[in-house]
Amino acid sequence: MRFSSLEQTNALIGFCRKVAGWPSPLAGLGYEVEGLEFDIVIGQGDLVVLDALLVSEVLGHALAIETKEGGNVNVEQERRLAELTPAQLVQRGVRVRTLDSLLVCDEAETSRAIRALEDNAITLPVFGLSRSMFRVRHLHLRDRKTEDAIRSVSLRGKEIPHFIQVAVTADVRQLLSPLSAVITEGIAQTAAGGRRDLDRDGLCQALFPGGLWSRVPPHQQGQLRSRVEDAMAALLKDAFRGRVERGPRGRWKIVATESASTARALQALPRRVARSSRGQIVIPEEQLLLPIEEYEENT
Amino acid sequence: MQPPVSSRKEFVDLFESSLLRAHELLLEERALQFEFNLPKTYLVEFHPVGGISPSTDLLEKRLAHLSERLHFRAIRIADDLFQVSAPKLSLVVDAANPRFTLFHTLTDSVTADAFVFRHFVSKTPAFDQVWFSPEFLERYAAGVTVEGWGARFTPFVERREVEDVTYSPKRVRVEIDEPGAWDRFVHFRTSSDFAHLPLDVVRVRSGGDGRVGRARVSSGGKLTARGNSFLHYQQLAIGLRDEYARDIASLETRYRVLFPPERTDRVAMRGEPYWIEFPKSLEDFEPLLGRMFSGTIPFRLVGFLEQPRPRFFRIHAVDLHIATRLYVEATPRWLRVFLPEHGCGNSLVRIVRSLQYNVTDKLGLPINA
């Protein structure tokens, strides 16, 4: 299975952080995530959208990154990315002296992307991400320290940390687990005397926290709202029946009965969700580890 | 029955005289009578749901809201002081730090423990026990006079293990109160005498010139007073609270994963996941995950598990203690915990210490890195 654009972005964010089970080649060079879905207007109003902008204050250097799931190249976008200058970033308030633009692809797609760039005389370094390796596949970075740090990073046996957990393109099935947690949080908060309603935009905001939701392009926001509604309908059919009721126009009401919000009722929700949808798993109750006191008391 | 108080001065005087009476009685009879219960303090975290900052006014509202459901009466007796009363129970709640409150009581341990731990904290999201991890207690002990310590390790077990007649649990319970106790702990900790020795209790002392406050500090956030000075004891409690509050603030600053919108036209990313490494690959990893996200004690997390690859899990979870989501990634070698914007550092500590007391005390943690 190919790495999605989101997984590639998460992998790069992870390179800037010290995290168990994931290498941090850029953290030591002082790289921070300065922008996600970062857009810059250049020339006559042309737009470059960076999936990630990583900046090292230590080096005064920026990495302007576009990630790609497939090997198709948008020639105009890649040309603008290749021609991006530090001055254009400075105009956007990013304090850097030097800049490297690069393309990151799934390893299996790099050859196709490189061919397309060469055919169109676009000078843009390409890195490939596979399950075992992140490595440079085409050209080199201007900044030698950065190049040395990421030219070949072993990823064997490692798992990408999901800083951003949900993809904008997530299908209904992929939305079920994160939405289940948002609904469960709502039920528990209702039991605590907090909120009672869920609404479509609030759910989207919960899936894309902070400023992420506002960076999702409007047409994708619309599509996602619609899939969130479908996922809610699926969850209300069985797993959350009797706990959440559909209200008017993209709103849902949490039914805060005492029995629906007790710890025992909340504990049962993962089993209910797993029973009614594919993708979730449940460890059978008889296999759970026991606190030894509990075992002794119960026997 | 503990008489009601109407000011901070009355509260301190009452506890001072009670501790002194108990101290004298101990000296005379070497035993305590029912009426002379030792002062006790419970550190309780107040973490309003929805990311609202805790305040004494909010705490007053919350206590009023809960009082009917949990059958107690709450009266505000000063700006940052409340009296909580129920049949056979009286507590003075010091909310000078409204997030980390001190519940003081002269009520007997059985009644007070039952109310605070089983009735109040476990049934009311927005309140949580304070969880002193073994590292925290060790660090705290290094800066005070230690008179004794206790350690406890009660491993989780598989059902088939305990049903095997030859099974013997690898449980550890040690408590030592004697001169040089701390040196012995340090010795045990660095030797291989015990496979696991997570610190669970420290007995500490403060004072001079014949006035002394002693506290038995347990990892669940409970302090029991001894000595002849409540004021010295109170200083110990306040010192602990402040040190813990600093720790939690530091965890939350570093380990909340945030996507702050900046200047309306961009979003950055700050923070990182908290990570926990096991000393070796856990054999019973999946049964442990099942326990962790079953919504039961000690973790109290409900989780929706996905398994994208063998031995790798992604879990969208809810912390039932404070009704807030968190996201976890797990393999048999490590866990990564992603706290959201209003996620609670206290929950991180609860996860870590639950693993230390029940799975292994040899965790690799960012604070040890």
pLDDT tens for each residue of A244-295: 999 988 899 998 665 556 777 888 888 888 887 777 788 888 888 888 776 6
The pair of three-digit structure tokens given for residue B114, joined into one six-digit string: 């039952």
Asked if A191 and B257 come within 8 Å (Cβ–Cβ), the reply is no
Predicted TM-score (pTM) of this structure:
0.91
Residue A270: which of B154, B266, B305 has the nearest Cβ? B305
A95 Cβ contact partners less than 8 Å away, ≥ 6 residues apart? A55, A57, A60
Interatomic CA distance for residues A108 and B215, integer angstroms: 63
Comparing alpha-carbon positions, the chain A residue that sits nearest to B354 is A291
CA distance A287 to chain B (A): 6
Strands B127-129 and B100-105 come out as: unpaired
Interface test with B, best of A31, A92, A266, A288 (most B CBs within 10 A): A288
- Give the pLDDT confidence score for residue B166 in this predicted structure: 82
Residue A289: which of B260, B291, B331 has the nearest Cβ? B291
Asked if B273 and A19 come within 8 Å (Cβ–Cβ), the reply is yes
Asked if A292 and B369 come within 8 Å (Cβ–Cβ), the reply is no
Q: Which of B189, B186, B187, B158 is nearest to B172 (CA)?
A: B189
Taken in order A221, A225, A227, A232, the sign of the CA dihedral is positive
Please tell me which residue, B264 or B256, carries the higher pLDDT value: B256
Interatomic CA distance for residues B257 and A209, integer angstroms: 10
CA A118, A120, A124 angle in degrees (round to 5)? 55
Interatomic CA distance for residues A67 and A252, integer angstroms: 36
Percent of chain A surpassing pLDDT 90 = 63
ipTM, two decimals, is 0.91
Interatomic CA distance for residues B84 and A250, integer angstroms: 43
Polymer length in residues for chain A: 299
Residue A292 contacts residue B169 (beta carbons within 8 Å): yes
Q: Which residues of B touch A287 (CB under 8 A)?
A: 158-159, 286-287, 290
- Give the pLDDT confidence score for residue A259 in this predicted structure: 57
pLDDT band at A188 (very low <50, low <70, confident <90, very high): confident
Main-chain dihedrals φ then ψ at residue B212, nearest 5 degrees: -140, 140
Comparing alpha-carbon positions, the chain B residue that sits nearest to A186 is B323
Asked if A21 and B334 come within 8 Å (Cβ–Cβ), the reply is yes
pLDDT at B51 exceeding the cut of 80: no
Q: Which of A238, A245, A236 is nearest to A276 (CA)?
A: A238
Q: Which of A41, A44, A46, A52 is nearest to A10 (CA)?
A: A52
CA A26, A27, A28 angle in degrees (round to 5)? 90
Least confident of A186-190, A208-212, B30-34: B30-34
- Give the pLDDT confidence score for residue A194 in this predicted structure: 66
Sheet of A126-129, strands arranged across:
A152-154, A133-138, A126-129, A98-106, A61-68, A46-56, A31-42, B266-267, B261-262
The pair of three-digit structure tokens given for residue A284, joined into one six-digit string: 């059978």
- Give the pLDDT confidence score for residue B34 in this predicted structure: 47
Interface test with A, best of B302, B326, B355, B358 (most A CBs within 10 A): B302
DSSP state letter for A142: S
Residue A279: which of B269, B288, B306 has the nearest Cβ? B306
Helix (H, G, I), strand (E, B) or coil at B144: coil
Helix (H, G, I), strand (E, B) or coil at B176: strand
Q: Using one digit for the tens of pLDDT, what is the confidence trace for B76-129?
A: 999 999 999 998 899 999 999 999 999 999 999 999 999 999 888 877 778 889
Residue B271 contacts residue B260 (beta carbons within 8 Å): no
Helices and strands in chain A, H and E counts: 10, 12
